[in-house]
């Protein structure tokens, strides 16, 4: 299993002020990933993205039944929370969580 130290994510974490302040590198090292935790992102939805694993979702807006993001903010928030710990993009605060999009 890859860890932040074993991927290019380590360099990214070292350069990212917000990830340093949250001590993400140490959290990952200690195995704190959010695994088996469900997180509902109540926002503009979550658009399919190669650095996110969305477990499901629901729309509560009257113009669409899709929970896909049509504005961008919800996808950004989802990435901050749960971007995968891989060699792509950034790493989320809890990269192992199960993300659910709730479009409101």
> How far is 102 from 46, CA to CA, in rounded Å?
8
* Domain encompassing residue 76: 33-103
pLDDT for 1 beyond 60: no
pLDDT for 12 beyond 60: yes
Closest-CA residue to 78 (of 32, 33, 103, 45): 45
Q: What separation, in Å, do the N-terminal and C-terminal C-alpha atoms of the chain show?
A: 36
**Is residue 22 assigned to a domain?**
no
**Is residue 83 assigned to a domain?**
yes
Higher pLDDT residue, 55 or 23?
A: 55
pLDDT in tens, 42-100: 999 999 999 999 999 999 999 999 999 999 999 999 998 999 988 888 888 899 999 99
Average pLDDT over residues 25-40: 88
Q: In what order do the strands lie in the sheet with 98-103?
A: 38-43, 98-103, 54-59
**Is residue 41 assigned to a domain?**
yes
**Is residue 15 assigned to a domain?**
no
pLDDT for 34 beyond 60: yes
How many domains, the chain?
1
> How far is 99 from 79, CA to CA, in rounded Å?
10
């Amino acid at each position: 299993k890859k860890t932040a130290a074993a991927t290019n994510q380590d360099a990214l974490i070292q350069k990212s002020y917000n990830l340093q302040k949250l001590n993400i590198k140490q959290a990952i090292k200690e195995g704190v990933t959010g695994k088996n935790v469900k997180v509902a992102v109540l926002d503009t939805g979550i658009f399919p993205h190669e650095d996110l694993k969305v477990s499901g979702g629901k729309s509560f807006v009257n113009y669409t039944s899709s929970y896909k993001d049509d504005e961008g903010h919800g996808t950004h928030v989802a990435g901050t929370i749960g971007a995968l710990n891989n060699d792509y993009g950034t790493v989320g605060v809890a990269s192992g969580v199960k993300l659910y999009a709730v479009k409101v």
